[in-house]
Amino acid sequence: MDGVILTPLKQIYNPKGDIFHAMKKSDEGFDGFGEAYFSTIYLNDIKGWKKHTQMTLNLVVVVGEIEFVVYDEINKEFFSVKLSQKNYQRLTVKPNLWMAFKGLSKSSMLLNIASIEHNPDEAINLDINEINYEW
């Protein structure tokens, strides 16, 4: 899907604690830095639909497992991926695509490395039932 990039990430195993890379400014999908934040979601809960008009999202699941769904309303096309430490990748979502996500573990946490600071006026929210997707 145009506007979506899935990037495998490096994991460095160490007997005293592992290192999980998230993003470098030289990576494809890096579109500037505005803020980084963590968000949690619980088993079978769904957050979304949200469409950012300016922000590029760079999403990494650091705990648990989360299913992400991106919807391109112009092409009527869905993109879906389940991310976890076992499927350790970064999902980049460019502006003007709808996105929602569902918790697949008791408690999951994601990191978003956003291209701009949060601004509630640059995002549009829809009820989860407004876009028909079979979760």
We report the CATH number of the domain holding residue 44 as: 2.60.120.10
* Residue tagged 């990576």 (tokens): 27
Strands 65-72 and 98-103 come out as antiparallel
Tell whether 134 is covered by a domain. no
Domain holding 82, by residue range, is 4-128
Structure tokens at 62: 């650091």
Average pLDDT over residues 37-51: 97
> Per-residue pLDDT tens for 82-107?
999 999 999 999 999 999 999 999 99
135, part of any domain: no
Whether pTM exceeds 0.85: yes
CA distance 47 to 39: 10
Tokens of residue 107, six digits: 């408690």
In a domain, residue 94? The reply is yes
Provide the domain count of the chain.
Answer: 1
Give the count of beta carbons closer than 10 Å to the beta carbon of residue 29. Answer: 19
Asked, for residue 133, whether it belongs to a domain, the answer is: no
59 in Cβ contact with 95 (< 8 Å): no
